[in-house]
Amino acid sequence: MTSPRKIAAPGRKPLVIGNWKMHGDVAFIESLLAGLRKGWRQRALTQAVDVGVCPPSPYIGLAAARLAGSALSWGAQNISAHERGAYTGEVAGSMLADLACTWSLIGHSERRALFGETDAQVAAKVEQALASGVTPVICVGETLQERESGQTEDVLGRQIDAVCANLQDASGHYVLAYEPVWAIGTGLTASPAQAQAAHRFVRNRLLAGGVFSASDARILYGGSVKPGNAAELFSQPDVDGGLIGGASLVADDFLAICRAAAGVA
């Protein structure tokens, strides 16, 4: 039975972003982008949900060229904490803005776990994104061990507190993404109730940190979202869409998730 679609809060139009991670080549991405554009011709979708994709950095220009003039936006999976300079391999916010990127993922759990990205680095990257006019999509989440030991709110609170100062004057120009680490690429998914509880905590913690725009901030859920579970997850009052990994690499699956966010059959 399909869950009823919530009525979105004012200023919180549903948002779905595809994180392609380190997948694809030119031929694959050309095909995926063509499939997304072809499937995105429903006017009801463009009015009801915002959608973006974050390809690997070498293919951002290709996405920009193929999606220009469409209702689909694009962004990056990472951003430098530095404005410019001798930082080999880094990509500055101004460079992303030059490619008309709308979004940059920041603090994804894989960046934190595999590359040692700290809360302080996340905050510096948020600052650079905002200064460049790129909307930061700030990822927070706990590991399975942290959840099972009752530390979920401590972990989320620490990660959120690190960026509150950056967001106090950024009304409407940032997104949060709750991604329980234990549900990313594992096939496990937080229950709708678990997702809602975490999203409500995130919103309240932002408000407690002086980010008074948090009531209107979009908070996405990320963690094994699929066409079959998207509608129920997105029906929760504080879940404003999804940050989608594996399913975003299949055009039909990603479009089905977008339709679930839009409440369009």
* Tokens linked to 255: 């479009």
Task: Judge contact between 109 and 156, C-beta under 8 A.
Answer: no
Mean pLDDT calculated for residue range 201-229: 96
Residue 205 domain boundaries? 106-126+138-217+230-241
Mean pLDDT calculated for residue range 8-30: 89
18 located within any domain: no
Spatial CA neighbour of 16 closest among 163, 180, 221: 221
| Tens of pLDDT, residues 69-115 | 999 999 999 999 999 999 999 999 999 999 999 999 999 999 999 99
- Catalytically annotated residues: 108, 179
Supply the pLDDT for residue 261.
95
Supply the pLDDT for residue 98.
97
Confidence band, pLDDT 50/70/90 cuts, at residue 3? very low
- Gap between the Cα atoms of 31 and 42, Å rounded: 19
State how far Cα 52 lies from the chain centre: 9
13 located within any domain: no
Residues 146 and 234 in one domain: yes
Element (H, E) at 137: strand 135-140
Count the neighbouring beta carbons within 10 Å of the beta carbon of residue 11: 12
262 located within any domain: no
pTM value surpassing 0.85 = yes
